């Protein structure tokens, strides 16, 4: 019996009739890529569109039995190639497991299946005055399971925490098909090792997440207040963001756009919209800041003073609508880049105090390779997204060379080569550089505890 026969029998007639198992070439082809643009060579063997935990168990048992690689996958919005279906693999798509099983307003948590889309969860939580904090840029289409698999970040992290801090407990199917539950429905709990935290960010290499108990936080009361400031250069903008933090102000959002980024947005939307929204012409660096909660207006006032004193031309949005227009300009950054070619979005993070140095390094690297590197930063937590625009099917070697320089600089500055996207395929060759040999060796051994046969997303994270 081959693996597909075995798997068909394990899934059962009903699942087969529902199309849970497919070898449709179009589906298989679509599963070879994600939003990074990287396409796996060769074709996956089949795709399991799981609807239940039992489907996931059947897939993993089949994979264990036949030593077939399994690639867990959600909405495919990853940016590191972590969920891409590789040659001969069984793609395990859990995006159809998308029920919200429980919302507890009292315990401020939700119990969800992994395929729930971020924005759907937040729509369901909103009537309770609660929200799920992780907010990757793809939140309209990304899933909670994908957030957990990558320990996703987003704009709100500096104030509201990364995904790890939003996960209380998990249900995971192990490589051999057993189901384990980790964590609790409580905020506190120290019984044994923190397996929950270990699975968060493990990119499908330790098990397949089939359920999560996540924290829901109270929606901050009142209207958010947004302000922005134009600076003569990116160093001044970075300095201004550092001073906001130093003033002990805690913005919900603080986004920094450098000159190449502003130029692209300006070309995409038209210079008039930039001038109208920013109250000044583009071409320099911009810092966008939003405060929420009961002291939003007072905080924005204090921040405005800081920004002015740092040499910024400041504009405070008069109302929510104007604030939304400022944010919309920031959101236009990725579409602006995508309109002129393929985009590689990089993702370094450095300590906040080293941001000016990192921006200086980006300028230097851009000049050295003759490649523009428009960059946006989540300035509140030092997470920078330098972007490369290219044409063709593959990232050019010069872009990778420039990215290599970026990664090494970030690590030298006390930071990391990935703040929130993950390692996947695209960054695995730098993993050991950042971790060092001893930590790398421990991680490989940890993986083998969970995955002795090496069937869980092989070639991802490790194995450059």
Of residues 21 through 80, those in contact with its own copies by CB under 8 A are none
- Of 245, 266, 285, 366, the one binding its own copies by CB under 8 A: 245
Cβ 336 to its own copies shortest distance, Å: 24
Interface residues for its own copies in 427-456 (CB under 8 A)? Answer: 427, 431, 434-436, 438-440, 442-443, 445-447, 449-450
- Please identify, among the stretches 173-181, 331-339, 364-372, 394-402, the one whose residues bind its own copies according to the rule CB under 8 A: 173-181
Interface residues for its own copies in 77-106 (CB under 8 A)? Answer: 104-106
- Token pair 């600076």: residue: 231
Between 335 and 463, CB nearer to its own copies: 463
* 353 interacts with its own copies by CB under 8 A: yes
Between 3 and 219, CB nearer to its own copies: 219
Interface residues for its own copies in 323-342 (CB under 8 A)? Answer: none
Interface residues for its own copies in 146-165 (CB under 8 A)? Answer: 150-151, 153, 157-158, 161-162, 164-165
Beta-bridge partner residues of 289: 227, 254
- The first and second tokens of residue 188, run together, are 């506190």
Cβ 167 to its own copies shortest distance, Å: 11
Interface residues for its own copies in 299-328 (CB under 8 A)? Answer: none
- Of 195, 229, 314, 332, the one binding its own copies by CB under 8 A: 195
- Of 324, 351, 463, 464, the one binding its own copies by CB under 8 A: 351
Between 269 and 297, CB nearer to its own copies: 297
- Please identify, among the stretches 140-148, 171-179, 227-235, 332-340, the one whose residues bind its own copies according to the rule CB under 8 A: 171-179
Q: Do residues 217 and 107 lie in contact, with contact meaning Cβ atoms separated by under 8 Å?
A: no
Backbone angles phi, psi at 440, to 5 degrees: -60, -45
- The first and second tokens of residue 392, run together, are 């063709």
Between 194 and 405, CB nearer to its own copies: 194
Between 180 and 318, CB nearer to its own copies: 180
Interface residues for its own copies in 405-424 (CB under 8 A)? Answer: 414-423
Cβ 422 to its own copies shortest distance, Å: 5
- Of 19, 129, 279, 335, the one binding its own copies by CB under 8 A: 129
Cβ 76 to its own copies shortest distance, Å: 18
Beta-bridge partner residues of 117: 143
* 177 interacts with its own copies by CB under 8 A: no
* 190 interacts with its own copies by CB under 8 A: yes
* 382 interacts with its own copies by CB under 8 A: yes
Between 151 and 457, CB nearer to its own copies: 151
Between 44 and 304, CB nearer to its own copies: 304
**Number of residues this chain uses to bind its own copies (CB under 8 A):** 86
- Please identify, among the stretches 39-47, 195-203, 273-281, 324-332, the one whose residues bind its own copies according to the rule CB under 8 A: 195-203
Instruction: Tell me the CA distances in angstroms from 35 to 63, 72, 316, 344, 349, one per residue in order.
Output: 26, 15, 34, 9, 20
* 292 interacts with its own copies by CB under 8 A: no
């Amino acid at each position: 019996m081959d693996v597909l026969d075995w798997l068909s029998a394990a899934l059962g007639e009903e699942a087969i009739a529902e199309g849970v198992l497919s070898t449709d070439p179009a589906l298989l082809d679509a599963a070879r890529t994600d939003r990074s643009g990287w396409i796996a060579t060769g074709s996956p063997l089949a795709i399991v569109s799981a609807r239940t935990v039992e489907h996931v168990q059947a897939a993993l048992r089949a994979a264990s039995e036949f030593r077939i690689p399994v690639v867990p996958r959600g909405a495919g919005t990853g940016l590191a190639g972590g969920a891409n279906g590789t040659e001969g693999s069984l793609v395990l798509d859990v995006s159809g497991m998308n029920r919200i099983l429980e919302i507890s307003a009292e315990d401020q948590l939700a119990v969800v299946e992994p395929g729930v889309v971020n924005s759907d969860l937040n729509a369901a939580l909103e009537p309770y005055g609660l929200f799920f904090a992780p907010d990757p840029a793809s939140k309209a289409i990304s899933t909670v399971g994908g957030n957990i698999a990558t320990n996703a970040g987003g704009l709100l992290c500096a104030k509201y925490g990364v995904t790890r801090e939003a996960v209380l407990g998990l249900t995971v199917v192990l490589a051999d098909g057993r189901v384990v539950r980790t964590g609790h429905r409580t905020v506190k709990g120290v019984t044994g090792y923190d397996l929950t935290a270990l699975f968060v960010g493990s990119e499908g290499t330790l098990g397949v997440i089939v359920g999560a108990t996540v924290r829901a936080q109270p929606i901050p009361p009142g209207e958010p207040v947004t302000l922005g400031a134009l600076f003569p250069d990116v160093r001044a903008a970075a300095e201004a963001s550092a001073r906001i933090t130093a003033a002990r102000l805690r913005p919900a959002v603080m986004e920094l756009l450098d000159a190449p980024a502003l130029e692209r947005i300006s070309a995409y939307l038209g210079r008039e919209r930039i001038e109208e929204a920013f109250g000044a012409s583009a071409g320099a660096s911009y810092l966008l800041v939003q405060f929420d909660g009961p002291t939003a207006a007072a905080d924005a006032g204090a921040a405005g003073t800081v920004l002015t004193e740092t040499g910024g031309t400041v504009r405070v949005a008069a109302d929510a609508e104007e604030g939304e227009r400022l944010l919309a300009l920031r959101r236009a950054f990725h579409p602006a880049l995508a309109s002129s070619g393929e985009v590689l979005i990089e993702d370094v993070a450095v300590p906040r105090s080293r941001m000016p140095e990192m921006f200086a390094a980006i300028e230097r690297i851009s000049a050295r390779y003759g490649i523009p590197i428009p960059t946006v930063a989540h300035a509140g937590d030092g997470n920078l997204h330098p972007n490369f625009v290219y044409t063709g099917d593959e990232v050019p070697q010069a872009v990778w060379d420039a990215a290599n320089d970026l990664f090494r600089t970030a690590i030298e500055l006390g930071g990391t080569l990935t703040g929130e996207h993950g390692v996947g395929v695209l960054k695995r060759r730098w993993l050991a550089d950042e971790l060092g040999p001893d930590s790398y060796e421990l991680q490989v051994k940890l993986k083998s505890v969970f995955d002795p046969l090496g069937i869980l997303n092989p070639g991802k994270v490790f194995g450059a």
